[in-house]
Amino acid sequence: MARADEIIGRTVRDGKTRYLMEHESKSILEELDIATTGGTLAYSEAEAVKIFEALGGPAVMKVVSPGVVHKSDAGGVKLNISNSREAKAAYSDIIAAFGEANVEAVSVQPMAKPGIEAIVGITRDPTFGPLLMFGLGGVFVEVLKDVSFRSIPVSPADVSSMIEEIKGYGLLKGARGYAADLPALRQLLLQVSGLVLAHPEISEIDLNPVFLYPEGYVVVDARMFVDGVAGGAPARHGNGSLRKFFYPESIAVLGASNSEGKLGWNVFHNLVSHNFEGKLYPINLQANEVQGVKAYGAIGDVPGPVDVAIVLVPAAATPKAVEECCARGIGSIVVESAGFAELGADGRKAEEEMERTARRYGCRLLGPNCSGIINTHSNMVQSIGAVAELGKGNVGLIAQAGVYAAGMLWGLRHIMDFGIVATIGNKLDVNETDVLEVLGEDRNISVICMYIEDVKGGRRFVDVARRVTRTKPVIAVKSGRTDAGKKAVSSHTASLAGNDEVYDSVFRQCGIVRARDNEQMFAVARGFSKQPLPDSAGVLIISYAGSLGVMATDAVNLNGMRLAELEPHLKTRLRSILPGMTSGLNPVDYTFSMSADDVRKTIEIGVESADVGAFIVILQTEILDRYVAPLSGIDYKGKPVLACVACKEFVTEDVIAMEKAGIPVYATPETAAEVLSAMYRHNLTVKSPQ
C-alpha cells in the first residue's frame, strides 16, 4: 500500500490531526481496489472545461481545500454539470465562494448513477478503539440513525450480521426494484477494517455516500482523518493467575474487628460463619484474637504464607497497607476500603500510589471501593455486609458496585444459587474483563451475569467475551444508557457513535445477551441455570385461560420462535385428555379446569414430539402449590420448561418451592418467551462453526 504509506506518513510527520482531502482519501481506497468515482484536479477554468469534455457525460465539481471538511454543507459541490459552459461557471462559483487563497483546486469527476445510498465509516471509541460503521444513507441515517457498529478487527460473520441487523436490510436484499450486491458490500467492509488495522494512525473514515448496485458499488465521496496516534484498549498490567482470588488457601484481613457492626467485623464474621476451610489471619493492632481467631499486629507478623489479603483500613492508611502486603509477598490483594477516586483528587492520588506499588511488585489488586468476592464453592464470603446461608450454585455475578451485589444476593438467594459473586469497585487493576475470563474457565460456573457501568478492558473485553460466550451464556446490564458519550463533530460516523449504541453493538458482536434491567437479567439467568437449552424453535404452550395462551402465542412469535406442530398420533393422544369444549392443540387451553395431572400428561406427550423444543406452562396462581411435586417429577428429555404465574408476588412461598424444584417462574408470558428466545439463540451460537 505505497500510496497509503506515503500520504499517511506525510500527514503523521506534520505532527497534528489532519484531514485528508477527498482525492487523497480516494487514492488510498483505489489502491485497495475499492471502486470510487475518482476525480481529476483542475487549477483553472480552462482545465476544468477540458477535464469535463474528456469525461463525455454529466459531471460533479467539488472544492478541494484542507479547510473545508463538509463540502456540500458549505456550498462546495456542483451537481449535474452537462456542458462546457456549466463547467466553466461551476469552477468560477466555487472559487468565488471560498476565495482563491483557500482553494487548492477543484475536483472534476463523473456523476455516479443512482443506487441505494449507504454510509461506511470508521471512528475511534475511547473504550473499544476503532469501530466499523455501516448504515443506509439519506433519511435512514439523518433521521432514523439506522446504523450498526462493530469493534475492529471484524470477521466475515461480523460484517454479515451488521448488514442484516439494520432496519433497511430488506431493501438491500431486494424490494421495489432496489437491490444491493451483498458479497461486494461485505468485501468493502472487510477492506475498510483491514485498512485501519494496517494504518492505526487513521482516526476516522467517512465514505458517504456509497451507492450500492445490484452488481458492485461506488464510493462517491470520501474523507479520512489522521492523528498519528494508534488508539486501542489500555494495556493490562500485573502477572500471574487470578485463581488465588477465588480459591485461596489462606486469607489475611487487615482491619478485622471484634466490634459488631463495623465493616471489619462483618467481613471476618462472614469468613468464619461460612466455614472458610483455609487459614484465617486477622490483623488488628489492639487485640490478641478476633472472633476467636488468633490476631496479629501487622501483616509482617503472620507466620505462614498468605494467598489473599483483604484491606479494610481507612483510606488514608490504605496505600501503606498495600505496600506492606506486597512487600510480604502477597500476590492477590482485595481493597474493600472506600474514599478514593470516587470522592475527588486526594482519593485519586492515593489510588495512583497503590497502582504504582502493585505494578512494582507484580501484584494484582481488586478494588478499591468494592465488597470483595463470594465463592460458595470454597466457602468464602468476603462481603462487607452480613450474608446469610448460601447454596452452592452455578451462576456467576460480576458487579461494579458492591452494595448492588449485596442487595441482589439478599433476595435472589431464595430462588437462584450463586456460585461466585465478584465485585470490582473502582477497577484500579483487576477489571470486569479479567473476572469474566476467570469465570469463563471455572467449571463450577455455567451462567454469567454482569452489572457494569463502563468497560475498562477495551478490545480485550471483546475477545474474551467472544471466547466465553461460545460455551457459557453471558447476560449483562449496562447502566448509563442515556449518556451520549464522547461525540466528535469532524465526521458523520463519529457523531453517530453514541455511548449506548456502541455498547449495544459490541455486546451483540461478543454474543452477550443485553438485558434492559436487573429483572430481565436475572430472569434470563434463571432459565439458563435451571433448564437445558432448546434444540428447536417450536414451543408448546399449555394454559388454563385462552387469553393468556393468545398472549403467549404473540410473545413467542415476536421473539423469533414459533408454535410447535405435534405429529398426528400425538394430536390424537392429546385430544383424548382435553375437555370437550377445547378445540386448539397449541396453545393447549384447559379453560380453567387444568389439574396438575393434565399438565403432566400434556408435557409427557410434548416431549415425544420432534418439533417441540420447549414448553411455556401457564399455571393458576391460587393453586400453584398443587403443581410443584407433579411438575418436578417429569422426565423432560432435555427440553426446557418455563412456568408463567400471574401475580406471583402474592404466592411467594409457592414460587420459591417451584424455583427450588428447578422450574423458573415468570409473571408474564412475554418474559417467559424472551427467556426462551435468549436460550435458543445461545444454543444456535454454541452449535455454529467458529
- Residue 291's CATH number: 3.40.50.720
Residues 268-321: tens digit of each pLDDT: 999 999 999 899 999 999 999 999 999 999 999 999 999 999 999 998 999 999
* Residue 376 sits in the same domain as residue 399: yes
Residue 139 scores a pLDDT above 70: no
Measure the CA–CA gap between 446 and 244, rounded to whole angstroms.
Answer: 20
* Residue 361 sits in the same domain as residue 411: yes
313 in a structural domain: yes
Measure the CA–CA gap between 270 and 272, rounded to whole angstroms.
Answer: 5
Which CATH number fits the domain that encloses residue 121? 3.30.470.20
Q: Comparing C-alpha atoms, which of 23, 20, 86 is closest to residue 58?
A: 86
130 in a structural domain: yes
Measure the CA–CA gap between 617 and 530, rounded to whole angstroms.
Answer: 15
Give the dihedral sign, CA 336/339/342/346.
negative
Measure the CA–CA gap between 17 and 9, rounded to whole angstroms.
Answer: 12
348-354 contacts, C-beta under 8 A, 24 or more apart = 350/315, 350/316, 350/318, 350/319, 351/426, 351/428, 353/319, 354/318, 354/319, 354/322, 354/428
* Residue 304 sits in the same domain as residue 427: yes
Q: Which grid coordinates belong to 558?
A: 415476536
Q: Comparing C-alpha atoms, which of 223, 220, 224, 222 is closest to residue 37?
A: 220
255 in a structural domain: yes
Which CATH number fits the domain that encloses residue 588? 3.40.50.261
Cα-atom radius of gyration of the chain, to the nearest Å? Answer: 31
Q: What is the pTM of this model?
A: 0.89
Measure the CA–CA gap between 491 and 496, rounded to whole angstroms.
Answer: 9
Check if the beta carbon of residue 309 is closer than 8 Å to that of residue 336.
Answer: no
* Residue 121 sits in the same domain as residue 106: no
Strands 217-219, 202-212: parallel, antiparallel or unpaired by DSSP?
A: antiparallel
* Residue 204 sits in the same domain as residue 252: no
Domain limits at 363? 243-456
Phi, psi values for residue 119, rounded to 5°: -135, 135
Please, which pLDDT band fits residue 495 given cuts at 50, 70 and 90?
A: very low
**Most confident of the following: 91-105, 236-250, 612-626:** 612-626
Which one of 440, 456, 472 terminates a domain?
456
| 632-645 average pLDDT score | 92
| 630-645 average pLDDT score | 92
* Residue 629 sits in the same domain as residue 564: yes
What residues does 309 pair with on adjacent strands?
252, 333
Which one of 166, 197, 226 terminates a domain?
226
6 in a structural domain: no
* Residue 300 sits in the same domain as residue 151: no
Q: Which grid coordinates belong to 535?
A: 434444540
Residues 158-210: tens digit of each pLDDT: 999 999 999 889 889 987 777 899 999 999 999 999 999 999 999 999 999 99
* Residue 65 sits in the same domain as residue 184: no
Check if the beta carbon of residue 34 is closer than 8 Å to that of residue 188.
Answer: yes
| pLDDT for residue 498 | 53
Burial call 212-251: b when 16+ CB within 10 Å, e when fewer:
bbeeebbbbbbbbbbbbeebebeeeebeeebebbbebebb
Measure the CA–CA gap between 430 and 400, rounded to whole angstroms.
Answer: 11
* Residue 290 sits in the same domain as residue 316: yes
Measure the CA–CA gap between 358 and 332, rounded to whole angstroms.
Answer: 10
Which one of 438, 456, 474 terminates a domain?
456
328 in a structural domain: yes
* Residue 325 sits in the same domain as residue 427: yes
| pLDDT for residue 583 | 67
**Most confident of the following: 162-176, 495-509, 655-669, 675-689:** 655-669
| Three-point CA angle 647, 653, 658, nearest 5° | 85
1 in a structural domain: no
Q: Which helix (H) or strand (E) holds 209?
A: strand 202-212
Which CATH number fits the domain that encloses residue 49? 3.30.1490.20
DSSP 97-164: HH-GGG--EEEEEEPPPP-EEEEEEEEEETTTEEEEEEEE-THHHHTS--EEEEESS--HHHHHHHHH
Q: Which grid coordinates belong to 217?
A: 458499488
Measure the CA–CA gap between 3 and 457, rounded to whole angstroms.
Answer: 34
* Residue 187 sits in the same domain as residue 256: no
| Contacting residues for 80 by C-beta, under 8 A, at least 6 apart | 58, 60, 111
Residue 69 scores a pLDDT above 70: yes
Tally of structural domains, the chain:
4
614 in a structural domain: yes
171 in a structural domain: yes
Q: Comparing C-alpha atoms, which of 226, 250, 272, 266 is closest to residue 20?
A: 226
* Residue 357 sits in the same domain as residue 274: yes
Task: State percent of the chain over pLDDT 90.
Answer: 70
Residue 489 scores a pLDDT above 80: no
Q: Comparing C-alpha atoms, which of 289, 213, 229 is closest to residue 253?
A: 289
| pLDDT for residue 126 | 86
Check if the beta carbon of residue 91 is closer than 8 Å to that of residue 112.
Answer: no
| pLDDT for residue 390 | 87
